[in-house]
Chains A and B, each alone.
Chain A
């Protein structure tokens, strides 16, 4: 599985400017909807499911990264989007730091393995400091997508 297999290019938010965790989640889910990943009717229920998951414990996993996610029947395969928040978002992260890089994932309920593989893939790349630094410096959705492809091809050293 590669990042470019499940990140929806048309849904990337390269310049997320929001004042809260909920706004960040709403903006990212809205962007997936605008890219045609699921119907507008499902948007609110996906946002609600992701917020409910956050209540169990923040998906701000440290190092300025958050991976909000949920299972939802509106998708038939794992889909994700990426947002870069240059000014940071308070995500109540495990390490107390603001987040600058967000990966939001929606996966079909009956396929927990895909969700784990997606998270494995994302965290493996995020351990690479070059990947994190370059992501934060991305100015456009094309920049982000190019970087994801380079990461997929192990071109980041």
Chain B
């Protein structure tokens, strides 16, 4: 096995507010679960996916094209996991409505 094999996936930012701190924190938390070196690049800028400060400097707005690159033993899994996070558009934890009441739970659909 070639340890230096590079895995790559192109993604697009679909968050209206761009790649802001919350999605960046989610990426960093996920990236730290992998041993691989993971980088996220936008045009000529590249950032360490485990480093929040680095990723904040990408300044990626809605619609920006990014590339995820990883090398290392679990690089393929890392690129898949982070790519899926982009594809799912960084789901929010369950929200509370403006009255501080939990949102109505959707009815359980029949199996």
Binding site for B on A (CB under 8 A): 56-59, 61-63, 65, 67, 69, 94, 112-113, 115-117, 119-120, 122-124, 126-127
- Which residues in A have their C-beta under 8 angstroms from that of B57? 120, 123-124, 127
Distance of A63 Cα from B17 Cα, bound (Å): 25
Q: Do residues B52 and A112 form an inter-chain contact, with CB atoms below 8 A?
A: no
Residues in chain B near residue A126, CB distance under 8 A: 53
Q: Are A94 and B29 in contact (CB under 8 A)?
A: yes
- Which residues of the other chain, A, contact B19 by a CB distance below 8 angstroms? 116
B60-87 with Cβ < 8 A to chain A: 60-62
B93 is an interface residue with CB less than 8 A from chain A: yes
When the two chains form their complex, are residues B52 and A94 in contact, meaning their CB atoms are under 8 A apart? Answer: yes
In the complex, which of the residues A58, A94, A127 contacts B54, with contact meaning CB atoms closer than 8 Å?
A127
**Contact residues in B for A67 (Cβ distance below 8 Å):** 21
Classify the secondary structure of B's interface with A: loop
| Closest chain B residue to A120, Cβ basis | B59
In B13-56, which residues have CB < 8 Å from any A CB? 16-22, 25-26, 28-29, 52-54, 56
Do A116 and B52 touch (CB < 8 A)?
A: no
Closest residue to B23 on the A side, CB-wise? A57
A117 contacts which chain B residues (CB < 8 A)? 59
Q: Check A116–B53 contact: CB distance below 8 A.
A: no
Is B92 among interface residues, defined by CB-CB distance under 8 A? yes
A112 lies within 8 A of B18 (CB): yes
Cross-interface CB contact of B20 among A62, A116, A122, cutoff 8 Å: A116
Asked if residues B53 and A61 are in contact (CB atoms below 8 Å), the reply is yes
CB–CB A112/B17 < 8 A? yes
Residue of B nearest to A124 (CB): B57
Contact of B18 among A56, A59, A116, A123 (CB under 8 A): A116
